[in-house]
Amino acid sequence: MTSHPQDLRPDTITVSAGRPPRGHDSPVNPALILSSTFHETESPRDGDRIYGRMSNPTWDPFEEALAELEGAELPALVFSAGLGAAAAALSLIPTGGTLVIPRNAYGGSISLAEAEAAKGHLKLIQVDIAETAEVIDHLHGAHMLWIESPTNPMLEVAETQSLTEAAHAVGAVVVVDNTFNTPLISRPLDYGADIVLHSVTKYLAGHSDVVLGALVTSNKEVRAELKTHRTLHGAIAGPFEVWLALRGLRTLALRMDRSQSNAMELATRLASHPAIAKVRYPGLHKDPGHQRAKDQLKGFGGIVSIELESREAADALVKSVRLWLPATSLGGVESLIERRRRQPGEPVTVPESLVRLSVGIENVEDLWADLDQALSTSAGQTG
């Protein structure tokens, strides 16, 4: 790992980590290495590159940078996608073992867990992750607790530390999907989580131009098992995607700051807009997750979910925006808007009239003006 003269702050680490060693004429950025195979040596050593499904030099700087940001003692593992990383994490559950997962976790993670459960690979218990006592009740005999907080797109906030301690007390592995927060807002390894998952596709890469995932852990045996899964399942990232992700990571702190301040301003204005039935944003004082978010997180994030009067009004809003982009995904520089239930895989606990806003880094007045005009246009639509 790149050695630093002192303990650096996270926003500095995003800029300084994963750079090549200093030296005469040495580049300041890591090279993009496109090679599927590597020269054999006469005396093979542990960690030799061998073949591109096992390792690639372009993965290393990103894996080191992400580990440094998450406070991990071992390099992260980059995967083909967030769900590729999720599949590797689920593979730690022994056949027939129990997984406890938030009812409103990211739809893809739930679909994957349900598919595994349908084949008898695991037993699935879905919980309301904000209800600490309910979650703890279900942990008995569990092999893995999956935490997502705030959840996507309901933005429920969990008591992550208590849940992690309760899971460890029964010997369960704790996986935290930290995609929404990024390590700038929360570092799950610090409160004892075993594995951190990222959809790097979102904030870390930040430009909606790569699909990528990652796992971070400080446990040597766990990391080795996850890496073997990655190699044998071929869930590997293309070097160019990883190179782009490190480039994106350099501006993470600036993007998060802007996205969060925009989100706070828009959530506040939306909360008093007559066309909006409900605003979900942990930054709002009235939000049920506000106190927990304040206690546990270093920010409230860039995602705001709103509920309109009806599904029709929600569809009309999405159809009427001109600057916001109607598209799924989140965490990019551009603001995206989506009625989540239009996705067939979305949990039915997500209201039909819910629209998720991924707030980008544009000028907040332009974002507001566009939402406001679209809300007036859609106000005439009734269920």
Ligand X SMILES: *Cc1c(COP(=O)(O)O)cnc(C)c1O
Question: Which residues are annotated as catalytic?
Answer: 53, 106, 177, 202
The residue among 83 and 336 lying less far from ligand X, judged by its C-beta, is 83
Q: Which of 121, 187, 202, 223 binds ligand X (CB under 6 A)?
A: 202
Complex with ligand X: residue 223 or 356, whichever CB lies closer: 356
Question: What is the Cβ-side half-sphere exposure of residue 306, based on CA atoms within 13 angstroms?
Answer: 27
Least distance in angstroms from the C-beta of 148 to ligand X: 6
CA distance 218 to 196: 10
Closest residue to ligand X using C-beta atoms:
82
Question: Rounded to an integer, what distance in angstroms lies between the CA atom of residue 191 and that of residue 166?
Answer: 12
- For position 248 contacting ligand X by CB under 6 A, the verdict is no
Min separation Cβ 202 and ligand X, Å: 6
Q: Answer yes or no: are the C-beta atoms of 197 and 78 closer than 8 Å.
A: no
Torsion of CA 77, 195, 64, 86, to 10 degrees: 30
Spatial distance between the Cα atoms of 179 and 181, rounded to a whole number of angstroms: 6
Which residue in 149, 182, 199, 378 binds ligand X (CB under 6 A)?
A: 199
Residues with Cβ within 8 Å of 67's Cβ and at least 6 positions away in sequence, in order, are: 1, 73, 74, 75, 76, 216
Cα dihedral sign, 260-179-309-289: negative
Range in contact with ligand X (rule: CB under 6 A) among 80-88, 218-226, 279-287, 319-327: 80-88
For ligand X, give the closer residue by CB, 81 or 193: 81
- Does residue 201 belong to the site contacting ligand X (CB under 6 A)? yes
Candidates 7-15, 196-204, 308-316, 344-352; binding stretch for ligand X (CB under 6 A): 196-204
81 binds ligand X (CB under 6 A): yes
Contacts of ligand X in 150-179 (CB under 6 A): 152, 177, 179
Q: Is 339 left (phi over 0), alpha (psi -120 to 50) or beta?
A: beta
Q: Applying CB under 6 A, which part among 35-43, 103-111, 120-128, 312-320 lies near ligand X?
A: 103-111
Stretch that binds ligand X, among 63-71, 156-164, 199-207, 271-279 (CB under 6 A): 199-207
| Distance from C-alpha of 94 to C-alpha of 237, rounded to nearest angstrom | 26
Q: Is 229 in the site for ligand X (CB under 6 A)?
A: no
Please name the residues in contact with 36: beta carbons below 8 A apart, sequence gap of 6 or more.
51, 52
Nearer to ligand X, 29 or 328 (CB): 328
Q: Determine the Cα angle at 366 with ends 362 and 372, to 5°.
A: 130
User: Given candidates 83, 175, 196, 316, which one binds ligand X under the rule CB under 6 A?
Assistant: 83
User: Which phi and psi angles does 378 have, rounded to 5°?
Assistant: -85, -15
- Does residue 242 interact with ligand X by CB under 6 A? no
Q: What is the DSSP string of 329-377?
A: ---SSS-EEEEGGGSTTS-TTS-TTEEEEE--SS-HHHHHHHHHHHHHH
User: Contact between 106 and ligand X (CB under 6 A)?
Assistant: yes
Q: Which stretch binds ligand X (CB under 6 A): 105-113, 185-193, 303-311, 352-360?
A: 105-113
Tell me: does residue 213 bind ligand X (CB under 6 A). yes
What residues line the site for ligand X (CB under 6 A)?
81-83, 106, 108-109, 148, 152, 177, 179-180, 199, 201-202, 211, 213
